């Protein structure tokens, strides 16, 4: 596979079953990194990262990045670079949400 998406437990399970070629992994993306670095997931995440080669890229994303989480992530990476984006009041409110109601049989056509 070119892209694998999964929970830490499932990815770890696939690695143990030798279903993933972790030496070929070029990039690991941790979405909601603050949740994945909680103590209950931390060791699993470290084990997953250890199975890859050292030259892979580790990308971590979080809307709520605490100082403690950032420190843990810095320890897991080499030469980390942190980019923080501030919320702009100017951009707030430009998203429009809407939904359509239809019968199940019309869902694909709609």
Q: What is the DSSP string of 23-44?
A: GG--EEEEETHHHHTSHHHHHH
pLDDT tens digits, one per residue of 25-50: 999 999 998 898 888 888 999 999 99
Token pair 């997953």: residue = 48
Q: Provide the CATH number for the domain around residue 73.
A: 3.40.50.300
pLDDT tens digits, one per residue of 68-103: 888 888 888 888 888 888 877 666 667 888 998 999
Question: Is the residue at 80 inside a domain?
Answer: yes
pLDDT tens digits, one per residue of 9-18: 999 999 999 9
Q: Which domain holds residue 62?
A: 8-86
Please give the model's pTM, rounded to 2 decimal places: 0.71
Question: Is the residue at 34 inside a domain?
Answer: yes
Q: What is the tally of structural domains in the chain?
A: 1
């Amino acid at each position: 596979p070119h892209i694998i998406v999964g929970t830490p437990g499932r990815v770890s399970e696939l690695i143990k079953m030798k279903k993933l070629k972790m030496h070929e992994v070029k990039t690991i993306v941790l979405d909601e990194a603050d949740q994945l670095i909680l103590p209950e997931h931390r060791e699993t995440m470290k084990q997953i990262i250890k199975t890859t080669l050292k030259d892979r890229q580790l990308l971590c994303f979080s809307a709520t990045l605490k100082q403690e989480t950032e420190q843990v992530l810095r320890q897991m990476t080499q030469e980390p670079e942190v980019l923080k984006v501030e919320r702009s009041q100017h951009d707030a409110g430009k998203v429009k949400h809407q939904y359509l109601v239809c019968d199940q049989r019309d869902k694909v056509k709609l």
